[in-house]
Structure 1
Amino acid sequence: MTSPTAPTVLLVHGAFADAGSWSGVIRELQSHGVSVVAPPNPLRGLASDAAYVASVAAQIDGPVILVGHSYGGAIITVAGAAENVVGLVFVAAYVLEEGESLGELQGRFPAPPLADNLRPATFPVEGAEPAVELTIVPEAFPSVFAADVPKEVTKVLAVAQRPLAAAAFDEPARATAWRTKPSWALVADADQAINPEVQRFAAQRAGANVVEVEGASHAVAVSQPKAVADLILDAVRATG
């Protein structure tokens, strides 16, 4: 069991997923008495999404650990500047440097299979022209996002995926919380959505405590929730 002063864990999902993707992780954490919050990620842009997550964190009494999956890692890099955030956990995630965008970080390494399997659509923007958002082609979703998840589950996840505004790939991070707060990172070594080399490079650059999960897909929180929860618990114990 955790102590009364243990931090609350705030889980931030990434693109092409929703907060339900954390269900197994949430169950594991709750079984250890950890307080958990898993809000919806708007997926409309790095600055605005980070501002939303920072606002949620700021309204939680006591210390908070931010956990970000995929694009959610970029968000917690920025949102982690919130005063009561005491640690960051990156799960198969982008970990940005200040002034760096997702596209710039990914562009240093070979593109993952995900890059060739994105489908654009438009969404309305009040007072402006429609903007572009992206989803994964449903037929490719199992192989590029969740290869180690049962097929019947991935068929549901592919239909329920939430789109990411395309502009988010080019938006630079305006803060770098890992420079002042401890961080942990999980590398999914069979990831087809974010090149594992991207994950390793960025996590090491951030000085994170890194673990690798062999054979894990991008959907490691779904396929191996205990491994993800164990790393989060390390962060809880270290900061509580």
Structure 2
Amino acid sequence: MRKRTIAVIGVLVLAMLGLAGVSSQAVAKADKPTVVLVHGAFAESASWDGVIKRLDKAGYPVVAVANPLRSVSGDATYLRSVLAGIKGPIVLVGHSYGGQVMTPAATGNQNVKALVYIAAFAPAKSESALDLTNKFPGSTLGAAIQSIPLGDGSNDVTIQPAKFREQFMADVSRKEAALAAVTQRPIRDVALSEGAGDPAWTSIPSWFLIPTGDKNIPPAVQHFMADRAHAKAVVEVKGASHAVAVSEPGKVADLIKQAATATR
């Protein structure tokens, strides 16, 4: 009987410890802003997996948005609806075209406390992704893409699978790049040529991470945008590809945490 009592007490203690662990984690997350991740063209939400694991371990609540990639105005409207459903402070993070979308989507939202651009566009009003890409030489994306007619005069655009690794993620293993080439999300061409709305970076502090091996958005363009936005910090990742969130998730997560801490 005594052994059974001891066993029962042991189970109760373990259960209480487990609940304490869950409770402390819940408190940690409640004390931190929600990190909202917005992927860009030729990618999907899973491209943030390595970053999400590190943010979750640090106690941050995370939302990875499925960016429609149809038009800047439409995609921004969708993102605004996602942000409206999140209570409390937000750190908004965009990769590539995701920055084109989040820049106008965050305007006027008092909960968005920081903008983090990861190899991303940070447009001024009326600027398109194509405008910015061509502002300085260095992008080789044009020769790597292929188009699929949609029947309405517009096209879906993807990167040719054979050129995907070299163009998009040269510092990622061939096996992982081959999988990403198959699962890449197409972007509608009008989204690349549509100008953005009023930029949030004029009123919300920003942080930039720039991979020096980026073949999609020239690093010179990224530095130009960071300077224009008066970024709080600019981090260069030497030799990293456009898919820096995949190849260097630790450095991406570190910058996001830096931005989150600075806005508290």
* TM-score scaled by length of structure 2: 0.86
Query: Which of 136, 139, 142 is matched with 2:159 structurally?
Result: 136
SS in 1 for 2:65: coil
Query: In the alignment, residue 222 of structure 2 is paired with which amino acid?
Result: Q
- Note the C-alpha offset of 1:103: 1.5
Per-residue CA distance 1:128-156 (angstroms, 9 max, x = gap)? x2521100000000001000000000000
- Note the C-alpha offset of 1:5: 3.7
Partners in 2 of 1:99 and 1:5 — Cα distance?
37
Per-residue CA distance 1:60-98 (angstroms, 9 max, x = gap)? 011111100000011111111123211100000111011
Partners in 2 of 1:172 and 1:160 — Cα distance?
27
Query: Which of 13, 19, 23 is matched with 2:49 structurally?
Result: 23
Query: In the alignment, residue 38 of structure 1 is paired with which amino acid?
Result: A
Q: RMSD value over aligned CA atoms?
A: 1.3
- Identity level (%): 46
The aligned counterpart of 1:51 is: 77
Asked whether the equivalents of residues 58 and 83 of structure 1 are also in contact (C-alpha less than 8 Å), the reply is no
Q: Does 1:234 align with 2:261?
A: no
Partners in 1 of 2:134 and 2:173 — Cα distance?
31
Partners in 2 of 1:36 and 1:219 — Cα distance?
20
SS in 2 for 1:121: strand
- Aligned positions, number: 236
Partners in 1 of 2:210 and 2:93 — Cα distance?
14
Change (3 A) 1:3 1:135: closer
Partners in 2 of 1:20 and 1:61 — Cα distance?
24
Change (3 A) 1:130 1:108: closer
Q: Over alpha carbons, which structure has the higher Rg?
A: 2
Per-residue CA distance 1:88-121 (angstroms, 9 max, x = gap)? 0000011101121111112211151112111000
Q: Does 1:94 align with 2:121?
A: yes
Partners in 1 of 2:98 and 2:70 — Cα distance?
12
Query: In the alignment, residue 219 of structure 2 is paired with which amino acid?
Result: P
Partners in 2 of 1:29 and 1:123 — Cα distance?
38
Query: In the alignment, residue 135 of structure 1 is paired with which amino acid?
Result: T
Where structure 1 has 5 or more consecutive residues not aligned to the other structure, the ranges are: none
SS in 1 for 2:162: coil
The aligned counterpart of 1:162 is: 185
SS in 1 for 2:131: helix
- More moved, 129-138 vs 42-51: 129-138
Where structure 2 has 5 or more consecutive residues not aligned to the other structure, the ranges are: 1-24
Q: Which runs of 4+ in 1 moved over 3 A?
A: 1-5
* TM-score scaled by length of structure 1: 0.95
Partners in 1 of 2:166 and 2:150 — Cα distance?
27
- Trace 1:145-156 onto structure 2 (pairs within 5 A): 145-156=168-179
- Note the C-alpha offset of 1:57: 0.8
Query: In the alignment, residue 116 of structure 1 is paired with which amino acid?
Result: A
- Give the number of the structure with larger relative contact order, counting CA–CA contacts within 8 Å between residues 6 or more apart: 1
Q: Does 1:10 align with 2:33?
A: no
The aligned counterpart of 2:22 is: none
Q: Does 1:71 align with 2:97?
A: yes
